[in-house]
Amino acid sequence: MRRNYIFYLGCFLTVLSLRAVGAYKHEPGEVVLTNCRQIYTKGIIKAKVDDGYTVHFPKASGPINCPPFRWHADFVIPFQSVPEYRLQFYGGLKRDIVFRTGETVLLRFDPDKRIVKSKAAIDIEAEITDISSNGAIAVKLLSKDPDAGATFWQWVGNNYIDLRHKALEAEREKRSQ
């Protein structure tokens, strides 16, 4: 009886450990992007923890609007830089929108009343400096307006922003015509 109990307990623990091993897709030292509301921060995996990772972010990263301590595995994706990205709609029924490094894009954010006293949406002109294989772009601020600069550094900064983000809706509409 006791042998059967130990045998079944061992099998149960083996199945649990195999399931946990399958959840980890990345290894320590790998460069990844962490997803926080379609704003991605580039970092390096330091360790595997419970059901995710501990990620180290360089000092120039930010702003990080989500707690940067532990990242669930679902919010960590591999990073690979590409020269261009084709944003596809409706399974190819609509023309693809192509984004390339060096192009100018328009970001449109609703103002944060604590920082900017304006009621109108703030348009920010930026240049694409890098594109991730998952469709996130890193941008450099080109706008000279102080309100645009404050909003840019509050939301995007040195992070990557998903091409499907609400702030890029006006840019997608402009390019789809």
The per-residue pLDDT of the chain, averaged, comes to: 86
Fold of 25-79: SH3 type barrels. (2.30.30)
* pLDDT number for residue 22: 47
Higher pLDDT: 21 or 42? It is 42
pLDDT-based confidence at residue 170 (cuts at 50, 70, 90)? very high
Both structure tokens of 140 = 């450099």
Domain boundaries defined on the chain: 25-79, 81-176
pLDDT classification of 95: cutoffs 50, 70, 90: confident
**β-pair partners for 99:** 85
Cα separation, 174 vs 177, in Å, equals 6
Cβ neighbors of 39 (< 8 A, separation 6 or more) are: 65, 155, 156, 159, 160, 161, 162, 165
State the average pLDDT over residues 90-96. Answer: 76
User: CA-CA distance, 44 to 62, in Å (whole number)?
Assistant: 14
What does the chain come to in residues? 177
Enumerate residues 6+ apart whose C-beta is below 8 A from 76.
25, 26, 32, 33, 34, 35, 45, 52, 53, 55
Percent of the chain with pLDDT over 70: 83
Token look-up 């102080």 returns 146
Please state, for a pLDDT cut of 90, what percent of the chain lies above it. 62
Inter-residue contact 138 to 109 (CB < 8 Å)? no
| Burial group, residue 168, by CB count within 10 angstroms (0-12, 13-18, 19+) | buried
Residue 117 reports pLDDT greater than 90 = no
